[in-house]
């Protein structure tokens, strides 16, 4: 048969030695990182007892004091900082709704920790349900599998390439225009331009090197 055992997480009972706490101590000045000390617990217990009586100032101080503790509890399960804040607010709302169930003769932290754990677990379950049906779209997934979806970028590349071609020396520009843009063979291009085939080849080779240099210098600027 069970005794009155409490789920002591975080494990603590009542106050230890020489805790010089006045009613409504300065709990909010102490950072409560991840664990609450026995002094915290007594402070919080007193503040909560006064809040149950309608003391708004004590209640505000209590909520401010436990917020970092709740945040550290939520951080164990949530990575996303907005999730953590949501969880903290969820816990605070639940605490507000059932604050009459707290018995000031008992430690405060186990009471709070159960509420917090419950809310965090509920949130994780809800997230599990929704993420199993949804696909998150992250900012870096701008490029889509269908090429048509990337038209904007294609247009930008076209404009950049055209401007780069215009900056080439006349011979090289002609080689690019005939061989690549009009897609002529070397022989046709030689006839059309009056240059020899090896000269066209050299011009084309130099044009590609120049284009690469120009485009690189632009992408370096942006």
Q: Is 54 in the site for other proteins (CB under 8 A)?
A: yes
Residue tagged 């007594």 (tokens) = 42
Site for other proteins in 77-106 (CB under 8 A): 82, 85-86, 88-89, 92-94, 96-104, 106
Binding region for other proteins (CB under 8 A) out of 48-56, 123-131, 176-184, 210-218: 48-56
Q: Which is nearer to other proteins, 59 or 78 (CB)?
A: 59
Task: Select from 86, 87, 114 the least CA-distant residue to 98.
Answer: 114
Dihedral of CA 8/67/42/105: which sign? negative
User: Closest separation between CB of residue 126 and other proteins, Å?
Assistant: 12
69 binds other proteins (CB under 8 A): no
Closest CA to 176 of 191, 167, 165: 165
Binding segment (CB under 8 A) for other proteins, from list 111-119, 128-136, 154-162, 197-205? 111-119
**Residue pair 96/48 in contact by the 8 Å Cβ criterion:** no
- What does DSSP assign to residue 182? S
Smaller CB distance to other proteins: residue 13 or 191? 13
| Cα distances (angstroms) measured from residue 208 to each of 166, 176, 178 | 13, 8, 14
Instruction: State yes or no: residue 107 binds other proteins (CB under 8 A).
Output: yes
E strand or H helix that includes residue 72: helix 56-75
Provide the binding-site residues for other proteins, judged by CB under 8 A.
1-2, 4-7, 51-57, 59-60, 63-64, 67, 82, 85-86, 88-89, 92-94, 96-104, 106-107, 110-112, 114-115, 118-119
């Amino acid at each position: 048969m069970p005794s009155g055992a409490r789920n002591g997480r975080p494990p603590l009972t009542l106050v230890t030695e020489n805790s010089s706490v006045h009613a409504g101590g300065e709990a909010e000045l102490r950072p409560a990182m991840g664990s609450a000390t026995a002094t915290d617990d007594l402070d919080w217990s007193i503040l909560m007892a006064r809040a149950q009586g309608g003391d708004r100032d004590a209640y505000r101080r209590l909520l401010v004091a436990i917020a970092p503790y709740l945040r550290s509890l939520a951080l164990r399960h949530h990575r996303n900082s907005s999730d953590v804040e949501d969880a903290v607010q969820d816990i605070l709302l639940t605490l507000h709704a059932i604050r009459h169930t707290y018995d000031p003769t008992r430690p405060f932290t186990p009471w709070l920790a159960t509420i917090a754990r419950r809310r965090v677990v509920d949130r994780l379950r809800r997230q599990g349900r929704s993420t199993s049906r949804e696909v998150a779209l992250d900012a870096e997934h701008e490029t889509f599998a269908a090429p048509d979806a990337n038209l904007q970028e294609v247009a930008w590349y076209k404009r950049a390439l055209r401007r780069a071609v215009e900056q080439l020396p006349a011979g090289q520009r002609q080689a690019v225009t005939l061989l690549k843009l009009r897609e002529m063979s070397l022989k046709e291009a030689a006839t059309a331009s009056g240059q020899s085939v090896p000269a066209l080849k050299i011009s084309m080779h130099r044009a590609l090197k120049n284009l690469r240099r120009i485009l690189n210098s632009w992408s370096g600027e942006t």
